[in-house]
Amino acid sequence: MSVCGLAVNKTASEASYTLGEEIANAVTHGIAALLSVAGLAVLVAFAAARHCSAEVIAAVSVFGASMIFLYTASTLYHSIPNRKAKHVFQILDHSMIYVLIAGSYTPFCLITLKGITGICLCAAVWLIAILGVSLQHLLLKKSDWVNCVLYLVMGWLVIVVLDPLLESLSTGGLWLLVAGGVVYSVGVLFYVWEKLPYSHAIWHVFVFAGTVLQFFSVLLYVIPEA
């Protein structure tokens, strides 16, 4: 299968990179992993300093932890040369993308939206994440477009609660949230553009940029408005 000439029929387990590409893959998300640890600390400290409830602190902690999980798994996958170990971390890497998406939803669902709407959306995205993680060993054997579609559908599921989100989140926070989603989505083009040198590392940069935008939405708008 191809999208605008981009090959997406290769299975994820067949992905191969040059040494230089693999180093770039590991370094980009290695830096992201370290910054994610700092990010979690900042979110929790900021929420605690504002005397936020335990629910708010828990929600931002889930977001911060999901960042650490993904970027650490990705770094290990691209760093380990042993084939068997690499395959295990590849499954973990792809699984943690679902976890990061669900983790990114959590503060917006439980802090900004609240009530039944927020709880239902949070439950829905985490159920999809659990399904994606559970089936990852099978999805890796199939064409990788399945993962791409699920990532995008899950990421843009927020559209179903757009009206209450517009009412609950300040304009600045909404723009950062949407900008993060757009950056994630544009990054997918590089993920499937396999013939472009260092395309995977470029995708890594887009992924982390999307995370950073949504991190600041939570830090500057979601927590203060809790």
Beta pairing class for 2-3 and 6-7:
antiparallel
Q: Which domains does the chain have, with CATH numbers?
A: 17-222 (1.20.1070)
Mean pLDDT (the chain, rounded): 91
> Both tokens of residue 162?
């757009």
Under 8 Å between Cβ of 12 and 90: yes
Q: CA-CA distance, 226 to 223, in Å (whole number)?
A: 5
Question: What does the pLDDT look like over 136-167, one tens digit per residue?
Answer: 887 776 666 788 888 999 999 999 999 999 99
Tens digits of residue pLDDT in 31-60: 999 999 999 999 999 999 999 999 999 999
Does the pTM of the predicted model rise above 0.95? no
Q: Which helix (H) or strand (E) holds 202?
A: helix 199-217
- State residue 224's pLDDT score: 97
